[in-house]
Structure formats: C-alpha cells, structure tokens
Structure 1
Amino acid sequence: MFDLDHTLLPIDSDYSWGKFTQQIGWTDPVDFKRRNDEFYAHYVAGTLDVHDYVRFAVEALRLRGAGAYEEAHARFMREWITPVLMPQAIDLVRSHQQQGDQVAIVTATNELVTRPIAAALGVPDLIAVELERDASGWITGEIAGVPSMREGKVVRVTDWLAARGLDWLDVETTFYSDSMNDLPLLERVEHPVATNPDPRLRTLALERGWRILDLFPRQ
C-alpha cells in the first residue's frame, strides 16, 4: 500500500488542485490561497478537521458540476501531474505488481482529485476520501463514510480487506508513507516504509529501525 502525496508524487495533489483552481479562475486567488495555506498547515501539524477541509476544497467543483470537472481535471493532469510522475515511483509500484503483490493507494485526498492520478500510476485499487452524492449523482460537499485519514486509513483498509474475504491475519502488509499523519497505518502493517519522510517521521523511523526510502527530495 502506498500513500500518494509526497510518497509517490513529489507534490501534494490536493494542495496543488487548490492552486490550479486559482489559476483557472474558479477560486479567489487571495482568500482561497490564505485558507488553503491554513488548512495545509493544520494537515502538516496533524490537527486538520478533514470534514471542514473537504467542504472548502470541493466547493468550486460542487458549484460547477461534473462536465466542468472532467475538462478541468484533464488539464490538471496534463499541466500539474504528468510532469511530476517520477520514473522511480512508477518503478517501485511496478516492482510490487510484478512480484504478484496486490497494490493499493491509500490517500487522505478526495476521490475526484486522486482517481485519475491512481490510474496514471497504473494502480486500479484506490482508497481515498469518498464524497457524498445527491439524487442527481453529483457531490454535496460532504464526506461519505469514514475518511481515509489518520486512524481512518486503518478502518478503510480493514474494510477493503473484508470486501475481499480477508483479514489482517490473512495477509502480509507493507505501507509506504511520508507523513506522521499516517502513523496509525504504519504501525498496523508488518513492513512500514518511511518514504521521503517528513522530519518527525524520519526521526521516528530511525528510532524504531523502520526502513527509510528516499525516492526524491521533498518539495
């Protein structure tokens, strides 16, 4: 299992999507940037209210609808994501797939931002923040179910295994992550890998003797 932002990508896709919406005129460049920066600081500190953040982050999408999303996200992929798809990250994913491992991306970023990115990385199994839909099938701005963040990642992976008739005792698990926010899942798996780790996770990984993998410098 892989975290996405700063683990397989050298950027934060959620934060970058916010900057992209400023670029294309969907959000106010001053107010949105201020609030986006505040939310990101809370995420780094481990104090983010994910429900508040998701309402904020998807509001521009919610107002514009599915058609506008498809067009905008295709541009986001071309201009922001494809240029930073690192060969070493793709090779790491492929190495596990070639060994016959079941591979999944487990991310705290929402499904609309991340599903096309997971597809570009060649990973069909995505555990992301799922978004509630209204009667028309479009997003309401709320989270559906348990958000895949902090302890929620363990819950969501447990559900993902159960849907395949499996339990933690049935599998040997590895999780790659850069962030202390992912400590609950890193502690749950047999093989935690601190990948491009933030300073706090690097320190902890050294203390616990966890594998440290630097695929690329943190941005």
Structure 2
Amino acid sequence: MNRPSAPNAPDAPALPRLALFDLDHTLLPIDSDYEWGEFTQRIGWTDPVEFGQRNAEFYAHYQAGTLDVHDYVRFATEALCQRGPEAAAAAQAQFLREVVEPAIRPQALALVRQHQAAGDTVLVITATNEFVTRPIAQKLGVQELLAVELERDAAGWFTGAIRGVPSMREGKVLRMEQWLAARGLAWSTVHSTFYSDSMNDLPLLERVNAPVATNPDARLRTLATQRGWRILDLFPQG
C-alpha cells in the first residue's frame, strides 16, 4: 500500500552571503603596500637606495610566506609616523590619484558590483595596513574593510606598531571570525566566497564555502587545480 506523501517542507531561508576579496593582485594588479613604499621614495620621504633595498627584501619574504609582519609594518610606516597627519593625508590622496586609480580595472569593479547587486555583503580583507587600504576600498565602493590595524598614541597618531590581530595568513581567519561574532553570525550561518591570488591566504581559502583562486600565483594555481577550486583570471599579471 502506498503511503501518503508527506507535505513539502517549507524552503529553508537562504543564508546571508559574504563575498570576501583580497586586495593586492586580486582586485588590483599591483601590490599597494609595496607601491606605497616606492611612492614614499619618489616624494622624498625615504632614501631610494636604503629603503628600496629593504622594501624589496620584505616583499620577497611576503611572497615566500616568511614575512614578519610586525617588523614590516614598523619599517613601512616609519616615515608616515614621522611626517604627521597633515602631510600624511596629502600624500595619501596623491598616492590614490597617481598610483591606485590608474591601476583599477573595470573587470574588478564589475565583479564587486555583481556581488553587491546580488545582495551579498562585500568585504576587502588584506594584509596591507589600514592607512594605505581604506581609501582604496572606498574607491572600489566597498565599505567593509579588514586590514592591518595600526596602534595610535595618546594624541591619536600612529606609533608604527600593529593593533590587535594582523589580517595575514591565519590572522585573516581570526579577523573574519571576530567580524562574524560581532554581528551574531558564524561560519555555519553564512555562505562565504573568498577571492585571492596568494598561497598566503590558504587558511581562509580552506575555511570558506567557495574559494576562488583569482589571478593565482603558480603554487596556488597548482593547488586549486588539484582541489577543483574555481580559477578566475581577472586580468593578466606581470
């Protein structure tokens, strides 16, 4: 005897959707942290020979996954801390105008807008410090930014130290968990997509529902291929 059919269960409510983006070499075809260092040389804030050599060394460590982010941030913000807020604001605007804006690609903007139009919450999560990246995120039309936060002194100016957990490697997962918890959310209550180019971001790529290897470096491209992750070549590298 056939059993009566069970009534259709009501559709479960859709989970909130998050679209997470790394910044450098993912949404931008440049490394904004490195380019800020190069920019400080051009405007006379740093010595081109000494600073340029150390900046290149730090960048090589980042690519190799061996960067001490605390040492790097102290180095990268030293001139900024010394110049003070007024000079820093002027340099920040000039950097955005001369270096960042020409590097913004329409296909990157279109991808961000696609997620926003779908109702997704879009975040930029980057290992570059907040001073460099907040204007960039705003230029991209993204309000939610998780970047390396900078400690401030009693007068409200940067000290060169990092405040809290740096958003780098495993730190990106921790910072996202803090962001989720502050909103009463958890990984299990959202659907998350993360776009990144770098093996440095492997911990977060492995944590989200939908990892997207975006303009991936050689190691990440190989891994993404092995794991069947989506690969997106948003723009040519190099």
TM-score by length of 2: 0.92
Mapped pair 1:11 → 2:30: yes
Determine the C-alpha separation between the residues in 2 that align with 1:82 and 1:54. 23
Per the alignment, residue 162 of structure 1 pairs with 181
Runs of 4+ in 1 over 4 A off after TM superposition: none
- Paired amino acid for 1:118: A
Which residue does 1:190 correspond to in 2? Answer: 209
**Distance in 2 between residues matched to 1:196 and 1:15, nearest whole Å:** 18
Which whole-Å deviations, capped at 9, do the CAs of 1:26-77 have from their partners, x for residues lacking one?
0000000000000000000000000000000000000001111110010001
Alignment of 1:131-150 (within 5 A): 131-150=150-169
Question: Does residue 80 of the first structure (1) align with residue 87 of the second (2)?
Answer: no
Letter matched to residue 30 of structure 1: V
Does 2:112 correspond to 1:90? no
Point out where structure 1 has 5 or more consecutive residues left out of the alignment: none
Q: How many Å separate the matches in 2 of 1:145 and 1:62?
A: 19
Deviation of residue 165 (structure 1)?
1.0
Amino acid at match of 1:149: M
Q: CA RMSD in A?
A: 0.4
Structure 1 residue identity aligned to 2:82:
L
1:130 aligns with 2:149: yes
Q: Which of 63, 71, 76 does residue 44 from structure 1 map onto?
A: 63
Q: 1:33 aligns with which of 52, 71, 78?
A: 52
Q: CA deviation at 1:163?
A: 1.0
Matched residue count: 219
Counterpart secondary structure, 2:25? coil
The separation in 2 between residues aligned to 1:31 and 1:188, in whole angstroms, is: 39
Larger radius of gyration: 2
Letter in 2 for 1:90: L
Counterpart residue identity of residue 22, structure 1: Q
For 2:133 and 2:89, the matched residues in 1 are separated by 13
Residue 30 of structure 1 aligns to a residue in which SS?
Answer: helix
Provide the identity percentage.
Answer: 72
Aligned-partner residue type, residue 72 of structure 2: Y
